[in-house]
Amino acid sequence: MRAVRVLLLCGLGILAAAGCDSGTPPPAVHTVTVTPSSPAQPGVAPSSAPPSSGAMRVFDSRAMASAVTRLLTTDYKMADVGPVSCPDRQPVADGSHFQCTVDIAGTTKHVPITVTGADGKYKVDPPR
């Protein structure tokens, strides 16, 4: 996880140094991984379905809300981040989209989430 962030930051640094900067760089997109069989750790949110069951795997909304809060405050360097709420029972399915809501300085914003694989990876975009 840390290696992905370092590579992303290095790539952006190289582009900026090469003069390929088109003004304001797009906000960084972070990928967080769901690991159903491991305990919660930074950047990892457990799935609420057992990995060996035939049931559809879903994201744990509380673990995802915690991960989104951490990304907004730590990686996006946002201040005044209030409660984050993510919808329950979102499927771990490549290409699915949903939004979490967050209170930032008293204003409700939406945080787009895009699932990027059946293994539980998802992108967290900046609030809108």
- The string of pLDDT tens digits covering residues 46-69 is 443 345 455 789 999 999 999 999
Most confident of 2-6, 12-16, 38-42, 80-84: 80-84
Q: Give pTM, 2 decimals.
A: 0.61
Is residue 69 helix, strand or coil? helix
Strands of 97-104's sheet in order across: 44-45, 30-34, 121-124, 107-115, 97-104, 81-85
Do the beta carbons of residue 82 and residue 103 sit within 8 Å? yes
